[in-house]
Homo-oligomer: A and B are copies of this chain.
Amino acid sequence: MINRITQKEIAKHMNVSISTVSKALKDSYEISKDLRHKIQAYAKQNKYFPNPIALNLKNKSSQTIALILPEIIHHFFSSVIKGIEEVIHNNGYNLIISLTQDSLEKEIQNVENLAQKNVDGFILCLSKETQWNNSIAHIQEAIDTGHPVVLFDRVTDLVECDKVISNDYESAIQVTNNLLAEGRRKIGLITTQDFISVGTLRTKGYEDALNKLGIEVDRSRILKVSNVDNSNEEIKEFIDKSEVDAIIGVNETFTAQALMHLRKKGKSVPEDISLVTFSDGLLSTFTSPNLTALDQQGMQMGMASATLLIKRLEAKAKKRQAPLFKTEIIETKWIKRDSTKKQF
């Protein structure tokens, strides 16, 4: 910044010391009312603002929170960002965003780099590679060096910290039950690889719901997409060869791709096959038929994450006892559209 007035200049102009200015500006009782007001008036008139960098150096706090994400081009992540942004700015913090592109190495770099720059804390969604390798040393180190972390969506048990997740397991049970109630018995699942925490939970919910009704889980009805960039091919093949009367997709793209291939095969949705997707977004309302969805409430997840982090930071700033670590569960919202039968 160029041309900003400093305490030094105010001091010079008022013929007092810098310490006096500093105290007057904080309305300290140490300074006579008269002088205090004069200094404040002059400061205001000259648009004085404390230099945040100097405060940062002094306080070792930057009033900045870092958000580290795998990707950004997804409705879910955009919504999360929106929620975080709102809470963070309402509380006077700034938000730094870094992307990992699902690479562990980039995640480590980002965390170390930002910790060095004195961000006050992290909100983080683990990269695929991180979950795959279970390497969380960088997260632990961030915490150990005094940077609180909130994990959301893709989390890990290996780190003790605040977490925000959807009720993925329960939602999967619910979806499966709803499809069973429609009379579906050959329910398929299109999901991600097992190492992704969210996918695993959903798969488990699906399996448990089936088992509970004594229906055997048929592995051939589960597709674990191995290469997300090639999901369309894998899904095509899956649709071609597997016999299903309903499909649960773990995200919109998978589900919409499944829909496309079903239609090409001449199947009608929801007459022949019901379709439900996790993670509601733009897409679901524009396919034909529209997709019944479980909205993950990204914005709420973002807001919850930011709130948890800020509470912890405030406790720290006020030297109050740190709150206990908490895992907040955001309930998914069932959005009934046209890709499932209407009867319930």
Contact = CB atoms under 8 A, between A and B. Distances in A.
Interface of A: 1-4, 49, 51-54, 56-57, 60, 62, 64, 72-75, 78-79, 81-82, 85, 89, 94-99, 113-118, 145-147, 253, 256, 260, 263, 282-283, 286-288
5 contacts: A53-B117, A94-B113, A96-B97, A253-B282, A282-B282
Copies of this chain, whole number: 2
A99 B72 contact: no
Contacts of A263: 288
A235 to B, nearest CB: 13
Contacts of A53: 53, 56-57, 62, 117-118
Contacts of A94: 96, 98, 113-114, 117
Given A85-B97, A85-B98, A94-B117, 15 more contacts: A1-B118, A1-B145, A4-B116, A52-B116, A52-B117, A53-B62, A53-B118, A56-B56, A57-B57, A85-B99, A94-B98, A94-B113, A95-B98, A282-B282, A283-B286
Contacts of A99: 82, 85
A253 B285 CA distance: 10
Contacts of A147: 1
B79 A73 contact: yes
A146 B74 CA distance: 35
Contacts of A115: 1
A171 to B, nearest CB: 22
Contacts of A82: 72-73, 99
A54 B1 CA distance: 15
Given A253-B282, A283-B286, A288-B288, A2 B97 contact: no
A145 B283 contact: no
A96 B53 CA distance: 15
A52 B260 CA distance: 51
Contacts of A89: 98
A326 B3 CA distance: 26
Nearest to A291: B286
A266 B64 CA distance: 54
Contacts of A97: 81, 85, 95-97
Nearest to A286: B256
A85 B77 CA distance: 15
A73 B78 CA distance: 5
Contacts of A79: 73
B72 A81 contact: yes
A85 B67 CA distance: 13
A1 B60 contact: yes
Contacts of A81: 72, 97
A279 to B, nearest CB: 13
A117 B117 CA distance: 13
